[in-house]
């Protein structure tokens, strides 16, 4: 069944593609073997993350960007992630509303995803969905995520080029950018440039960037573009900037660095899960909760508690097997 799905999706069958995304999204037991094959097939797509505050115009901008990339004869896939309600487990995924103009183009595929359990808004399911799309041969894969603290930073582990979308007149937004996101952006869009204040917002960003001394040693200087997603103005420049960034990643070897960063975080996340499962099986969640309560009540301390648990797993804390650790 899976070989058939893989053969069909690499040949351009959209239902097979959509079904494979469902399998990986649901962590379907059948999908594991497929992911190994899909991973071997991928690695060709340019993976672009688009993030920013709700309402900044990300979906509209993505729609325009895809139109521009289509003019450049690229096949494009979009993964649009919206948050799952922590209260009900449900979600309203509304990004397609802005992307209607793309429906019907056989070289564009749009998938809406809910963040489900993941803290960062960007789950392993998202990365696996991207893996499927990469194997399916899309030239560019765009991940849209709502920038909300952690999620903005998480996208680094899924994308090669990160576009941060902001809008004029959001001084607070710019302040928030300082917290982690400034560092991860490869390109800024001041969207809604049809509104007053776009030049000022761009100037503020430029000023903030100039304070980021970490950037000095990088050959890549993130461009600050003014876009009006409502009309498409500035979008060809955005497409150009993405192309330049990909060229930079390749020439500088950064593409390997980023690939390894992603691989490392994926492997560690899986191991972390396995370790949790083993812990759960060894101790039982209830016992763990007792230990937690004891530490909180100061009947025990985190070091002793962890040491006891580690020993139950047959390992030692770093400080125990290496006195210098």
Partner 1 sequence: MPDQSLDATAQTQVAAERKIRVIVAKPGLDGHDRGAKVIARALRDAGMEVIYTGIRQTPAMIVEAAIQEDADAILLSILSGAHMALFPKIMELLRAQGAEDILVVAGGILPDEDIPAIEAIGIKGNFGPGTSTQDIIAFVRANVKPERLAQPLPPLRTGGVAVDEPARGAQA
Ligand X SMILES: Nc1nc2c(ncn2[C@@H]2O[C@H](COP(=O)(O)OP(=O)(O)O)[C@@H](O)[C@H]2O)c(=O)[nH]1
| Residues at the interface with partner 1 (CB under 8 A) | 1, 4-5, 8, 14-16, 18-19, 21-23, 26-30, 84-85, 88-94, 96-97, 100-101, 103-105, 109-112, 114, 116-119, 123-125, 269, 272-273, 276-277, 279-280, 283, 285, 288-289
- The encoded tokens of residue 259 equal 């690939």
Q: Which residue, 119 or 207, has its beta carbon nearer to partner 1?
A: 119
Q: Does 123 bind Mg ion (CB under 5 A)?
A: no
Burial of 141 (C-beta count, 10 Å sphere; 0-12/13-18/19+): buried
CB 131, CB 100: distance < 8 Å: no
Q: Which residue, 22 or 243, has its beta carbon nearer to partner 1?
A: 22
For the bound state, the minimum distance from the C-beta of residue 84 to partner 1, rounded and expressed in Å, comes to 8
For the bound state, the minimum distance from the C-beta of residue 3 to partner 1, rounded and expressed in Å, comes to 11
Residue 160's nearest CA partner among 54, 16, 20, 259 is 259
Q: Does 59 bind Mg ion (CB under 5 A)?
A: yes
For the bound state, the minimum distance from the C-beta of residue 160 to partner 1, rounded and expressed in Å, comes to 23
Separation CA 127–CA 177 (nearest Å): 24
228 DSSP assignment? B
Q: Does 145 bind Mg ion (CB under 5 A)?
A: no
Q: Which residue, 195 or 287, has its beta carbon nearer to ligand X?
A: 195
Separation CA 287–CA 291 (nearest Å): 6
Measured N-to-C along each axis, helices 124-135 and 31-41 cross at an angle, to the nearest 10 degrees, of: 50
Residue 73's DSSP bridge partners are none
Tell me which of 69, 102, 181, 229 binds ligand X, using CB under 6 A.
Answer: 229
Cβ atoms within 10 Å, residue 205: 20
123 binds, among ligand X, Mg ion, partner 1, none (CB under 5 to 8 A by kind): partner 1
Q: Going residue by residue from 85 to 104, which x/- string records binding to ligand X, judged by CB under 6 A?
A: ----------x--x------
CB burial readout 254-288, b (16+ within 10 A) else e: bbeebeeebeebbeeeeeeeeeeeebeeebeeeeb
Q: Which residue, 155 or 201, has its beta carbon nearer to partner 1?
A: 155
User: Which residues in this chain contact ligand X in the complex, by CB under 6 A?
Assistant: 54-60, 95, 98, 191-192, 194-195, 228-230
């Amino acid at each position: 069944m899976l070989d058939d799905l893989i053969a069909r999706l690499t040949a351009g069958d959209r239902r097979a593609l959509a079904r494979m995304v469902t399998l990986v999204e649901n962590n379907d037991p059948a999908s594991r073997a497929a992911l190994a094959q899909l991973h071997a097939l991928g690695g060709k797509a340019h993976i672009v993350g688009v993030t920013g505050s709700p309402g900044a115009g990300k979906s509209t901008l993505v729609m325009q960007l895809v139109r521009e990339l289509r003019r450049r004869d690229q096949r494009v896939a979009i993964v649009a992630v919206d948050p799952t309600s922590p209260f009900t487990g449900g979600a309203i995924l509304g990004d397609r509303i802005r992307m209607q103009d793309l429906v019907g183009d056989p070289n564009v595929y749009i998938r809406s995803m809910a963040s489900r359990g993941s803290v960062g808004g960007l789950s392993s399911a998202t990365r696996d969905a991207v893996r499927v799309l990469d194997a399916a041969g899309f030239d560019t894969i765009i991940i849209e995520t709502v920038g909300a603290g952690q999620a903005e930073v998480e996208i680094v582990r899924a994308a090669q080029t990160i576009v941060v979308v902001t809008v004029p007149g959001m001084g607070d937004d710019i302040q928030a950018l300082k917290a982690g996101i400034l560092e991860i952006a490869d390109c800024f869009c001041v969207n809604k440039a049809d509104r007053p204040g776009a030049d000022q917002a761009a100037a503020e960003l430029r000023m903030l960037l100039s304070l980021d001394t970490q950037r000095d040693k990088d050959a890549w200087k993130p461009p600050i573009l003014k876009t009006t997603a409502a009309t498409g103005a500035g979008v060809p420049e955005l497409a150009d900037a993405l192309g330049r960034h990909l060229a930079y990643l390749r020439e500088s070897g950064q593409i390997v660095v980023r690939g390894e960063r992603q691989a490392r975080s994926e492997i560690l996340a899986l191991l972390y899960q396995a370790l949790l499962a083993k812990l759960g099986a060894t101790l039982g969640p209830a016992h763990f909760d007792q230990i937690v309560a004891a530490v909180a009540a100061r009947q025990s301390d985190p070091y002793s508690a962890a040491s006891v648990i580690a020993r139950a797993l047959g390992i030692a804390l770093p400080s125990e097997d290496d006195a210098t650790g």
